[in-house]
Amino acid sequence: MKISKICCIGAGYVGGPTMAVIAKMNPNIQVTIVDINEDRIAAWNDEDLSNLPIYEPGLAEIVKETRGKNLHFTTEINKAIDESEMIFISVNTPTKTYGKGKGMAADLKYVELCARNIAEVATTDKIVVEKSTLPVRTAKAIKSILHNTGSGVKFDILSNPEFLAEGTAIEDLLSPDRVLIGGESEEAIEALANIYGSWVSQDQILRTNVWSSELSKLTANAFLAQRISSINAISELCEKTEANVSEVAKAIGMDSRIGPKFLNASIGFGGSCFQKDILNLVYIARSYGLNEVADYWEQVITLNDHQKRRFSDNLISTLYNTVSGKKIAMLGWAFKKDTNDTRESAAIYVADHLLNEQANIAVYDPKVPSKKVYGDLDYLATRSEDENKELVETFDNPYDAIKDAHAVAIMTEWDEFKTYDWKKVYDLMKKPAFIFDGRNILNKDEMAEIGFEYSSIGK
């Protein structure tokens, strides 16, 4: 079966880059991305590519090349659904904030709405592809909704989890380690494998059953997050001893069974996936009565929360046990470099701890707009929006954020931070001038020579 028209529901961090790359690599397929958010679609259609809603290296170039040719952005959801042979569901699946499974289970209301939407408007057979990260057995729920429409339309459901990491999404999509397709219908699987086959070799395209595919996504993220919590646990031990976590990471990473990646000790992992997926895994395990399994994975989150808390506690105790009324400059708000995404960013939680101690926070991030910073803090609802406005200020220029600060806290590993004139930073700050390097990106000896009181993670 040859696909000529694709629709993707959800123009976010997954749907946007994935469809842009599919469109680029398949000029003969028309790809339409739809979203209920009109502002988001307008931003995707903006003439000025610096206004795209998502910052991702290499993305704007691909959008420029394909938009209006075979890549389209629209809010006309029903029309796009009905016209396409294959529909990707790429809507968000945040952790539930209410009811049963609150704070643990994935909220599937957006996915269910999509399935209902497809069921309502489809008049021809469709292949429906789950792209959002979903709890195992979601395909079953989607199938049940789609198959009970009575319209006589045939739906094949595939699970095709996304393994791209933000900040390197285009690279990851263009040269994936593997593509995973789970499903029942061989014809549907091959239709999707053909689309990826335009640029991915067939032996890298794994075909599995739906449940294996869904569970693989959660497991991959749980393993990756576990590595970070493991090295972060060792970082605390390093701080108490004479060991240096970077040296330990290098030494263990050279064991080919362990490997060198994902061993950077940090302020703690953030992002839309790791915490959500582990919570999901824990919830599923518990719902099957597998308490030891659930406890095991839950510890990865516990350690991550501890790492964030430890960073702010250390900052406060180093600043003579009080940050009240002191200006703390936070460099970086995104959960990692090269993205404007801030979901679950460690910076939010560290700022929140410091605000509880009445610190004044000055934020600079090269890609995150001011309204997102306030939005993230307001969403926590720890204090009123007015209080957040009063205690937090955002800046377009790092040196303005740093001026008269008692401490600089590096929250994101943006490359530009390494190139700052740190002597100038020192001169601008109150003395003694402290740096808390949550990403271990600066050189300890150089900073000490300038005069900073410098501390990093695990050293």
| Binding-site ranges for ligand ADP (CB under 6 A) | 9-15, 34-37, 40, 77, 90-92, 110, 113-114, 132, 272
Shorter beta-carbon distance to ligand UDX: residue 77 or 228 = 228
In the chain, what is the greatest distance between 2 CA atoms, to the nearest angstrom? 75
Site for ligand UDX in 142-181 (CB under 6 A): 162-166
Residue 40: which of ligand ADP, ligand UDX, none does it interact with, CB under 5 to 8 A by kind? Answer: ligand ADP
Classify 272 as helix, strand or coil: coil
Residue 162: which of ligand ADP, ligand UDX, none does it interact with, CB under 5 to 8 A by kind? Answer: ligand UDX
179-183 and 155-159 strand pairing: antiparallel
Minimum separation from the CB atom of position 98 to ligand UDX (A):
25
Active site residue 273: yes
Contacts of 344 (CB under 8 A, 6+ apart): 270, 271, 272, 274, 275, 276, 335
CA atoms within 13 A on the CB side of 440: 16
Shorter beta-carbon distance to ligand UDX: residue 326 or 343 = 343
Among 155, 269, 364, 414, binds ligand UDX (CB under 6 A): 269
For residue 147, count other CB atoms closer than 10 A to its CB: 13
Shorter beta-carbon distance to ligand ADP: residue 37 or 185 = 37
Burial class (CB in 10 A: 0-12, 13-18, 19+), 67: middle
Residue 110: which of ligand ADP, ligand UDX, none does it interact with, CB under 5 to 8 A by kind? Answer: ligand ADP
Residue 311: which of ligand ADP, ligand UDX, none does it interact with, CB under 5 to 8 A by kind? Answer: none
Minimum separation from the CB atom of position 162 to ligand UDX (A):
5
Minimum separation from the CB atom of position 126 to ligand UDX (A):
25
Token pair 């001169």: residue: 427
Query: Per CB under 6 A, does 338 bind ligand UDX?
Result: no
Shorter beta-carbon distance to ligand ADP: residue 88 or 417 = 88
Classify 76 as helix, strand or coil: coil
Catalytic site residue from 7, 8, 114, 273:
273
Minimum separation from the CB atom of position 67 to ligand UDX (A):
24
Shorter beta-carbon distance to ligand UDX: residue 221 or 226 = 221
Residue 263: which of ligand ADP, ligand UDX, none does it interact with, CB under 5 to 8 A by kind? Answer: ligand UDX
Site for ligand UDX in 274-303 (CB under 6 A): 274
Closest listed residue to residue 458, CA positions, set 445, 439, 442: 439
For residue 51, count other CB atoms closer than 10 A to its CB: 12
Minimum separation from the CB atom of position 285 to ligand ADP (A):
23
Among 24, 72, 131, 336, binds ligand UDX (CB under 6 A): 336
Minimum separation from the CB atom of position 257 to ligand UDX (A):
18
**Pair of tokens at residue 298:** 């839950």
Minimum separation from the CB atom of position 32 to ligand UDX (A):
23
Burial class (CB in 10 A: 0-12, 13-18, 19+), 97: exposed
CB 35 within 8 A of CB 225: no
**Cα distance between residue 47 and residue 57, in whole Å:** 18
B/e letters for 330-350, b = 16+ CB within 10 Å, e = fewer, are bbbbbbbbbbbbbbbbbbbbb
Site for ligand UDX in 370-429 (CB under 6 A): none
CA 391 → CA 319, 335, 348, distances in Å?
18, 21, 14
**Cα distance between residue 158 and residue 12, in whole Å:** 20
Shorter beta-carbon distance to ligand ADP: residue 326 or 372 = 372
CB 443 within 8 A of CB 419: no
Q: Which residues pair with 159 in a beta bridge?
A: 130, 182
**Cα distance between residue 33 and residue 66, in whole Å:** 13
For residue 4, count other CB atoms closer than 10 A to its CB: 11
Site for ligand UDX in 228-267 (CB under 6 A): 228, 262-264, 266
Q: Which stretch binds ligand UDX (CB under 6 A): 68-76, 174-182, 204-212, 270-278?
A: 270-278
Residue 114: which of ligand ADP, ligand UDX, none does it interact with, CB under 5 to 8 A by kind? Answer: ligand ADP
Minimum separation from the CB atom of position 84 to ligand ADP (A):
14
Query: Per CB under 6 A, does 55 bind ligand UDX?
Result: no
**Cα distance between residue 12 and residue 14, in whole Å:** 5
Residues tagged active-site: 273
Question: Given the rule CB under 6 A, which residues bind ligand UDX?
Answer: 162-166, 221, 224, 228, 262-264, 266, 269-271, 273-274, 335-336
